[in-house]
A and B are shown apart, each in its own frame.
Chain A
Amino acid sequence: MTTNKRLSSSPAGRIPGNVTPGGALDVSGLPSYAFGPRSLMWWGTLGVIAIEATVFAMMVATYFYLRSQAPGWPLGVQPPLLVWGTVNTLILLASVVPNHFTKHAAESHDLAGVRLGMCLCILFALAFLVVRIFEFRSLNVAWDANAYGSAVWTLLGLHTVHLVTDFADSLVLAVLMFTGPLEGRRFVDVAENAMYWDFVVFAWLPIYAVIYWAPRF
């Protein structure tokens, strides 16, 4: 009863997308890629997001654990300046617009739209990476000053690592969209990249709250 025998004993019915009862399931008519949860890459990206969200959650938990053990918070230093963090939050939120524009362009196989959208996204990425430098400078504490400093630097650093990798991913993908070789599946890659971008933006909001507002309460 091996499948090998099955194949040799019953010739394949070749009606695209149709089923031959007791025989073959012909899948040649099915699409060769799909967007969103139908795509395997979507699940892979979701896995990465789950892991990284867990890391962020653990780091936030660490922050509050250290705070719960401390006599005062933020351990004798000034809370971070609000201005650059808030500016960056706005830039990150604004980047959602070109990001979703890119995603929709990808889903409708609009190559010109994808190229435009990705270029816009990369400009936004450059903007928030530059502002991020000022954020580190406005933390009012060094990483080796005390445990509070270590925690905020690590939290901001972890998120920055995500910004940098997302920037690099997008850059490589954008270049590919200009040079090729292209096939339909590359639009799926663009759509999944946009999903990851959303994660990096929305993961920032709780981190922003913890870094900039938690020390004020």
Chain B
Amino acid sequence: MDTGFSISLLDIRPIVPEITMVCAGLILLLLDLVVRKKEVVAFVGIVGAIVALYGTFKLYGLSEPQIAFSNMFILDGYANFFKLIFYLNVIMTIGISVKYMKVEKASYGEYYALLLFSTTGMMIMASAGDLIVLYLGLELMALSTYILAGLLRGQTRSNEAALKYFFLGAFSSAFLLYGIALTYGITGTTNISDIAVSLLTLDIVGNPVTMLGIIFIIVAFGFKIALIPFHMWAPDVYEGAPTSVTAFMSVGPKAAGFAVLGRVLFDAFGVMQVQWVSILIPLAVLTMAGGSIIALAQTNIKRMLAYSSIAHAGYMLLGIIAGTSIGLTSTVNYLMIYLFMNMGAFAIVIMMRREGFQGENIEDYMGLAKDHPLASALMLVFMFSLAGIPPTAGFIGKFYVFMAAIHEGYTYLAIIAVVFSAVSAFFYLRIVVYMYMKDPKESVTLTTSPSLSIVLAVTAMMVLILGIFPSILLNLVRYSILG
């Protein structure tokens, strides 16, 4: 039905969280004009995100998936769980940025507004029931993040990061659009559930144009979630962007990309699973291998975490490749765990930054344990978790993803993943060795703030709790996705 669009007031209810986020962002922009202290703006931003979170929480109780705007917008447990990841991501990012932006002399109020707008884009992506809505959500997310990456206007490397991110991001969204156009041309619709129907009724499953459409869409999201060989922007952008923004975009856009991949590949192209799995397998192997091996050579911790984030995207992809709802569950579970451990690691990196000292070289961590035992212990927990060592959550995340892959007969993929996971332990543990077993070159003072300490405490606690009691998170994920 192309002509009979009708919008009723009931359609508004599922998008209340998104509306709340946009309103909060607009309020922040106005508040920025009248309030001198940017801490207030940051606090209002957190409050806005929490109000939206409450809205999502109220909608969570509805067991039936909600469909609004003529099937353009879907609100199901899957979308709701991803929104939870995005809220936590934006709240914790604001928590770690307040002091950091002051140190960088870039306390702009619009920074917080852009974080909220970008998060709104991700939420729309997670809920998209139509490729048009998906594209709009993607652009809202991406355009806000381009600006965030270049926020430190006076620094050449921040400008350069924004420039590279912008050009490759625009390039990839052109690919996405071409993929959408081809899919629309052959199926006659852009609606995700209608595409699945058309693929069967028109008998175009093996059609080269359909294949081309899927390839273009996968390439576009390969750029967004930084799969090798589409990763070349990631290390440069992660290094040049302000550290708080790096933390934000190493989790948010990646999770949004996976949300869309899960939705489009499973719901729209579910019948073509054999085809898209055969595209994803080489990408996953390359990503795991490349990310882990190149990270070994890095001397800058932000670059190292960039390659680590690439490698993690490869592990997460295994859950999608498994192609079952259990596989999808394990990927989503991994994303939530990755949010905590990655955010914690970046919070420590941010603490190292003070006026006149970047604190981004791995050698700056030498002997940190002598002066700052608590910070080093927390870094140790996050590094163990990123490496996937048992009592931490990172192990649980990897375990379920590998189990899902083995369950579907991809044992060789799981073996490759474990091998490169062992390789990656080398560069994570190198940080630990530097902190505990080397002598300090110079004494380091850490920049702390109450909000940063809260984020650190929460992330460290979650990494340990989810490592010891994984069923808490896993049950929530299962409830959300499987119903």
The answer to whether A and B come from one shared complex is no
Interface set of B (CB-CB < 8 Å, partner A) = none
